[in-house]
Amino acid sequence: MVRRFVKERDKVDVEGVSLPALMVLNKLIRDGSQRLGDLGEELDFTSGAVTGLCDKLESKGLARRVRMEHDRRAIWLDITEQGRCLMDRHRNVGTRSITTLFEGMTSEQLKEFIQFSTQIVNNLDQYAATLNRLAQDNEHNACVTDVRNANTSRFLSY
């Protein structure tokens, strides 16, 4: 589902601006100028992806990089008036992107989806630690050559 979403998201083009770039502009409008590293962290983009998005936004005159007087090493991104106008013109795109994803779901289904998603996020808190601990424990176990006797799961596995 996530891969499919990313593929579809990357097809969105608003006046030559991608949906991830619109997310950056929206964050700048909502929270003010941002350090590039913070943008990447909060939007879950790699530093390379943030740099590429910022390059494109700057080349279109929608955002500009700023160095702070007190710390010339830190690079911040700020939205330009042209960027604000673009976002104002296409305000309905962001709203529609969310409603399109959840269209056709009842209120009850949405509540269940939120509960399921919350549970998965909570389960992720110990995900890596649990699997790493299991792998360490397994280092001392014998090899299972008969896959019919291996542990099975009712979920997808690798």
| Domain span including residue 33 | 2-102
- Give how many domains the chain has, as a whole number: 2
pTM value > 0.75: no
Instruction: Name residue, tokens 């992720």.
Output: 124
CB distance 77 to 36 below 8 Å: yes
Return mean pLDDT, the chain.
89
Question: In terms of domains, do 74 and 20 share one?
Answer: yes
| pLDDT tens-digit series, residues 95-129 | 898 899 999 999 999 999 999 999 999 999 999 99
In whole angstroms, what is the distance from residue 148 CA to residue 146 CA?
5
| pLDDT tens-digit series, residues 3-42 | 998 899 889 999 999 999 999 999 999 999 999 989 999 9
Structural domain includes residue 79: yes
Question: In terms of domains, do 23 and 94 share one?
Answer: yes
Structural domain includes residue 90: yes
Split at pLDDT 50, 70, 90, the class of 157 is: low
